[in-house]
Amino acid sequence: MINIKEDERLSVLNHSCAHLLAQAVKHLYPEAKFWVGPVISEGFYYDIDLGDYKITDEDIPKIEHEMKKIAKDGKRIVRHEISKSEALEMFKDDPYKIDLIERMDEDETVISCYTQGDFTDLCRGPHVETVKELKHFKLLKFSGAYFKGDSNNKMLQRIYGVCFETEEDLNAYLKELEEAQERDHRKIGKNLGIFTSHDLVGKGMPLWLPNGAIIRKELENYIYAKEQKLGYKHVYTPCVGTVDLYKTSGHWDHYKENMFPSMKVDEEEFVLRPMNCPHHMLVYANELHSYRDLPIRIGEFATDFRYEASGAVKGLERVRCMCQNDAHLFVRPDQIGEEFKKVVELILDVYHDFGIKNYKFRLSLRDSEDKEKYFDDDKMWNDAEAKLREVLNDLGIPYYEAIGEAAFYGPKLDVEVKPAVGPEVTLSTCQLDFLLPRRFELSYIDSEGKSQIPVVLHRAIFGTFDRFTAFILEETKGALPLWLSPVQVNIIPVNNNYHLEYCEKIKDSLENYRVELDKREEKLSYKMRESVIRKIPVTLIIGQKEVDDNTVSYRMYGSEETKTVSLSDFQKLLEDKIKNKN
Ligand code: TSB
Ligand code: ZN
C-alpha cells in the first residue's frame, strides 16, 4: 500500500486537506479549537477540541460535504510570514496554537501561516495553490486522542482522512484499505473466536478464547520441540520481581517508563516484570560454570507486562500483557558468532515452516563516534559487530544496517514485518549484551582456572506468542494450515437420518485430530458455507455413496473440488499434511 508520507506530492496534498478539514469543522462547530494536523503514512489527521461534544458517525458526511463546498468555492491558499508576537496576538483565543508558538525559538523571527478564505492556520507548509485541488478525499475514521498523547491531558477528537489527485487513485486506495481491513487480525480474531477483551480486565489485556488457546498451544509445542533439539533448557520463573532486582539489572533506571508501577507486599516491593532477563541471570548464577559448559541456553514461555500507551495497544499485536518465546544464551566471547548463527538459522527455519516471506532483517549497530550512548569497550563492540556481519554475509541473507540504533549494551538483529494495518513491527529479535552479566556478576571458569564474564544473547523467535499469532492470522487471512487450525476437520452428513452413524464412526477413527461433526438440522449447502466461513481446512461431505463404499468425500478450504478416498487414505493425507506443515 502506498505510503502517503513518503510521496512528496501526496504529502503536500494531504497536509492541505488537513487544513480543509479544520476549516470545515470550524464552519460547522465555531467553538472548535485545533491542535495539530500532520500527514501520516495513511493520509492525514487533525486533533480537535470540540469542548464536550463528541464526533459521531453522522457528523462525518456533514463535514465531508462542507469540505467539498469549500473546495468548490476554490479560494487560493496564501502564505504570510509574521513575527512571534504577531502570531501570539493572532491566535490568542486558541490555547493549543499558543502552546505551539510559545515553544518556538525566540529567534525564530518569522512564523508562517496559511490563509484560505475565512480560515488561517499556523503552518510551515508547503501547500497546494488553491483548495480547488482538494477534490478527491475521504474521511476515514475518528477516535479520541489525548492532547500531546498524555493520558493526564484532555481527550481531543482525532479525525482521519486521505486525499488523492484523482478519483481513480482514491478509489483504488480505498479498495486496498478495505482489503487490508479484511485481513486485520482484530477482525479475523473476532470472527473466528480467537481472542477478545473486556474493559473489566483492562486495555491491552487480551483474553485468549478456546480457539486461540489451541493455536497458542500448537505454537508452544512446535517451538519447544525445536529448542529441545538445539539444547535449550526451559524454566518457569515468576512474572514479578522485586524493585531491587530491576535496579540490579538497570531496568529501573532505563526502562521504568515502560513498566507498571510497583506494589508493596509486607517489606518487599514488587513490579510486574517487563522482561525475563534478570530472572534468567539468576538461574545461571545458581550454579558454577566451566568454559566447557557454555553455551548455556535458558528458555521460557514467559509472561511480561509493559506499559504501552493506550493509543498504541492493538489487538494481539501490541499488548500490555504478553508471553515471550524467550531465551537467554550464555556464551564465551569466542562463541558469539557461532551461537548467533544458530539463532538466525532457527529464525529462517521457522519462517520457512510458516511460509513467511515478507520480512526485513535489520542489524542495529553502535555509532562509534558516540562514546556516551554505548557501553565502553571498543574491542568487544568491534569484534562482535564484525562477527554478526560475517554470519549474515555467510548465510547470504539480505539485511540493512541501522547505525546508532544498537542498545547501550550491545548490537542486535531484528526482523521487521508489516501488519495489514499500521506501521512495521518487530517479530524476532536477537540482542547481544555485554553488560547484564557484569551487573549480575556472572562468571565461568576458563581453561586456566581464571574467572571470566560470559556474554548474553537475548533472543525471541516468535517475539511474543501474541504478536506472532496476530501476524500469522493476517498472513493467512485466518485460513490457518491444518496443524494450527482450531478445528481441522468438519464432518457434514448429507442426511442426519441415514448417514449420521457412519459419520460418528469416521469421527471416532480421527481421534488424534480436532474434528467436529455438524449434526444440526440445517440444509447441507448452509452447513458447507459455514464451514468455509469458519475457514476449516477440511470439510467432509458424507452421503449414501460414502456409506456404501466405506469412503469419505472431502473438500479442502479454498478449493471447489470434491475428492473421494478410502478412510485410511484420508487419514494418511491428514498425517502427511500435518507432518509437512502444509
Ligand atoms: C528477547 N529481553 C529481550 C528478550 O530476551 C526482550 O524483551 N526483547 S524485546 O523487548 O525486543 O521484546 C521481545 C519481543 O517481544 C519483540 O521482538 C516483539 O516481537 C515482542 N513485543 C514487544 N513488545 C510487545 C507488545 N507490547 N506486544 C506484543 N509483543 C511485543
Ligand atoms: Zn532478555
Q: Which CATH class is domain 195-476?
A: alpha beta
pLDDT reported for residue 81:
87
Alpha-carbon distance values, 1 to 355, 423, 499 (Å):
21, 11, 49
CATH of 4-174, one of 3.40.50.1970, 3.30.980.10, 3.10.20.30, 3.10.20.600: 3.30.980.10
153, 284 in Cβ contact below 8 A? no
CA atoms within 13 A on the CB side of 353: 19
**CB burial string 156-172: b at 16+ within 10 A, e below:** bbbbbbbbbeeeeebee
Of 359, 360, 432, 464, which is best to mutate to test ligand 1, by the most ligand atoms within 8 angstroms of its C-beta?
Answer: 464
The Å distance, Cα 459 to ligand 2 centre, comes to 7
The Å distance, Cα 275 to ligand 1 centre, comes to 8
Of 195, 427, 458, 459, which is best to mutate to test ligand 1, by the most ligand atoms within 8 angstroms of its C-beta?
Answer: 458
pLDDT reported for residue 455:
96
Cα–Cα distance, 318 to 509 (Å, whole number): 41
Q: Which atom of ligand 1 is nearest to the CA of 458?
A: 5
Alpha-carbon distance values, 236 to 279, 294, 303, 320, 406 (Å):
10, 21, 10, 20, 29
Query: Which DSSP state fits 521?
Result: S
Q: Which three cell numbers stand for residue 326?
A: 524467550
Cα–Cα distance, 47 to 41 (Å, whole number): 16
Cα–Cα distance, 555 to 578 (Å, whole number): 16
Q: What number does CATH give the domain 489-579?
A: 3.40.50.800
pLDDT reported for residue 108:
61
144, 159 in Cβ contact below 8 A? no
The per-residue DSSP string of 3-31 comes to -GGG-HHHHHHHHHHHHHHHHHHHHH-TT
**Residues found in the chain:** 582
Closest-CA residue, ligand 1 atom 25, reads: 318
Nearest ligand to the C-alpha atom of residue 412? 1
What dihedral do alpha carbons 171, 173, 174, 176 form, nearest 10°? 120
Q: pLDDT tens, position by position, for the chain (582 residues)?
A: 788 988 999 999 999 999 999 999 999 999 999 999 999 988 999 999 999 889 999 999 999 999 999 999 888 888 888 888 888 888 888 888 888 888 877 666 678 888 988 888 888 888 888 888 999 999 999 999 998 888 888 999 999 999 999 999 999 999 999 999 999 999 999 999 999 999 999 999 999 999 999 999 999 999 999 999 999 999 999 999 999 999 999 999 989 999 999 999 999 999 999 999 999 999 999 999 999 999 999 999 999 999 999 889 999 999 999 999 999 999 999 999 999 999 999 999 999 999 999 999 999 999 988 877 777 888 888 888 999 999 999 999 999 999 999 988 889 999 999 999 888 999 999 999 999 999 999 999 999 999 999 999 999 999 999 999 999 999 999 999 999 999 999 999 999 999 999 999 999 999 999 999 999 999 999 999 999 999 999 999 999 999 999 999 999 999 999 999 999 999 999 999 999 887
Ligand 1: residues with CB < 6 A are 275, 277, 306, 308, 318-319, 322, 324, 326, 328, 426-427, 429, 458-460, 463-464, 466-467
The Å distance, Cα 284 to ligand 2 centre, comes to 13
Which residues are near ligand 2, the ion (C-beta closer than 5 Å)?
A: 277, 458
The Å distance, Cα 43 to ligand 1 centre, comes to 28
Q: Which atom of ligand 1 is nearest to the CA of 430?
A: 1
Closest-CA residue, ligand 1 atom 18, reads: 463
The reply to whether domains 195-476 and 489-579 share a CATH topology is: no
- Other CB atoms within a 10 A radius of the CB of residue 200 amount to 6
Closest-CA residue, ligand 1 atom 13, reads: 463
Cα–Cα distance, 320 to 310 (Å, whole number): 9
Sheet of strand 111-116: strand arrangement = 77-82, 111-116, 119-122
540, 506 in Cβ contact below 8 A? yes
Nearest ligand to the C-alpha atom of residue 425? 1
The Å distance, Cα 432 to ligand 1 centre, comes to 14
Of 277, 467, 471, 473, which is best to mutate to test ligand 1, by the most ligand atoms within 8 angstroms of its C-beta?
Answer: 467
User: Which residue in 420, 447, 340, 431 sits closest to 388, CA to CA?
Assistant: 340
Closest-CA residue, ligand 1 atom 23, reads: 318
Which pTM does this prediction carry? 0.87
Closest-CA residue, ligand 1 atom 4, reads: 458
Of 361, 426, 461, which is best to mutate to test ligand 1, by the most ligand atoms within 8 angstroms of its C-beta?
Answer: 426
pLDDT reported for residue 363:
96
Q: Which three cell numbers stand for residue 31?
A: 467553538
Nearest ligand to the C-alpha atom of residue 321? 1
User: Which residue in 475, 506, 519 sits closest to 569, CA to CA?
Assistant: 506
The Å distance, Cα 74 to ligand 2 centre, comes to 57
Q: Which atom of ligand 1 is nearest to the CA of 462?
A: 19
Q: Which atom of ligand 1 is nearest to the CA of 428?
A: 17
3-state secondary structure of 98: helix
205, 197 in Cβ contact below 8 A? yes
Closest-CA residue, ligand 1 atom 12, reads: 463
The Å distance, Cα 228 to ligand 1 centre, comes to 22
Closest-CA residue, ligand 1 atom 28, reads: 318
Delimit the domains of the chain by residue range: 4-174, 195-476, 489-579
pLDDT reported for residue 95:
86
- The catalytic residue positions are 277, 306, 324, 326, 328, 412, 458
pLDDT reported for residue 109:
64
Cα–Cα distance, 244 to 263 (Å, whole number): 13
